[in-house]
């Protein structure tokens, strides 16, 4: 019997904090700096993302959250509660990263939470828009890290997969022409790149096409999943003169 999928980190935090009321509680500060009654956690979460609430009120809540992520500054339940308060601002980015980079949900959510807590811990005390600063920083850093991870991801050994030798002499080069789609608005021009075949792993696609005898016909790359064609890539082999 197949095991049920493990819930994501966001789901686990939601469950743990659904009924929690960590102490000391958040408080509302108005223009007169008068302290109001302790604020329930669920109500604080509503106010943080309600644009009709005065910016000063929301800023005061974010700054209190920043104080509570400092080591020893508040009770042991506050670090998780602070994460719970920020989930609403992280969910959309978590979904986009998971979908775009085909990443594991748990890894993406863990990375975003780390970036979020780091941004909150480094929040300046005089920031007039602390919520926007923290969430923009966390989402941007999380997205950039996954984009770099995709660029650095190791690829399989083409020789091992195909069974066809793909050795290319160091003196040979590969030339790639990138043609933007004609349906794309604005100015466009063909981009041509020429690189040594032994330096770029991506050009091994062309080496594989030649080993199979299809180099003259392999003129385009298409994506069969959801989406639309954005460009055409053609590869040809170029020998250096001399």
The continuous run of DSSP H or E covering 61 comes out as helix 55-68
Identify any residues that bridge with 235 across adjacent strands, giving them in sequence order.
176
Strands 26-29 and 35-39: what pairing? antiparallel
- Using N-to-C axis directions, what is the helix angle for 105-121 and 78-101, rounded to 10°? 130
28: confidence class by pLDDT, cuts 50, 70, 90: confident
The predicted model gives 178-202 an average pLDDT of 55
Q: What is the DSSP letter of 240?
A: P
35-39, 50-54, 79-83, 221-225: the lowest-pLDDT one = 221-225
The token pair at 23 is 């102490």
Overall pTM > 0.75: no
3-state helix, strand, coil in the chain (%, to 5): 45, 15, 40
Q: How far, in Å, CA of 222 to CA of 232, rounded?
A: 8
Q: What is the pLDDT of residue 174?
A: 55
Q: Three-state SS for 5? A: coil
Please indicate whether residue 191 or residue 79 has the higher confidence score (pLDDT): 79
- Number of Cβ within a 10 Å radius of residue 122: 11
Q: What is the DSSP letter of 76?
A: T
Collect all residues with Cβ–Cβ distance below 8 Å to 64 and sequence separation of at least 6: 26, 27
Q: Is the pLDDT of residue 165 over 50?
A: no
* Range list of H helices, 102-151: 105-121, 130-151
Contact 229, 223 (CB under 8 A): yes
Q: How far, in Å, CA of 53 to CA of 83, rounded?
A: 21
């Amino acid at each position: 019997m197949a095991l049920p999928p493990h819930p994501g980190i966001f789901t686990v935090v939601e469950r743990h904090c659904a009924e929690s009321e960590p102490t000391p509680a958040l408080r509302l500060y108005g223009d007169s700096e008068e302290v109001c009654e302790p604020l329930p956690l669920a109500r604080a979460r509503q106010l943080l993302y309600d644009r009709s609430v005065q910016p000063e009120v929301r800023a005061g809540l974010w700054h209190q959250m920043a104080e509570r992520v400092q080591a020893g500054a508040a009770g042991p339940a506050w670090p998780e509660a602070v994460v719970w308060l920020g989930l609403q601002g992280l969910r959309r980015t978590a979904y986009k990263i998971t979908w775009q980079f085909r990443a594991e949900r748990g890894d993406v959510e863990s990375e975003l939470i780390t970036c979020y807590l780091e941004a909150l811990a480094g929040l300046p005390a005089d920031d007039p828009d602390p919520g926007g600063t923290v969430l923009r920083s966390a989402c941007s850093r999380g997205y950039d890290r996954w984009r770099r991870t995709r660029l650095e991801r190791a690829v399989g050994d083409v020789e091992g997969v195909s069974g066809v030798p793909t050795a290319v002499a160091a003196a040979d080069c590969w030339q790639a022409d990138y043609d933007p789609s004609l349906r794309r608005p604005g100015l466009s021009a063909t981009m041509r790149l020429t690189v040594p075949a032994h330096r770029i792993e991506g050009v091994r696609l062309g080496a594989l096409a030649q080993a199979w005898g299809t180099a003259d016909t392999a003129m385009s790359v298409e994506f069969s999943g959801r989406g639309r064609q954005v460009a055409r890539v053609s590869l040809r082999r170029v020998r250096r003169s001399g």
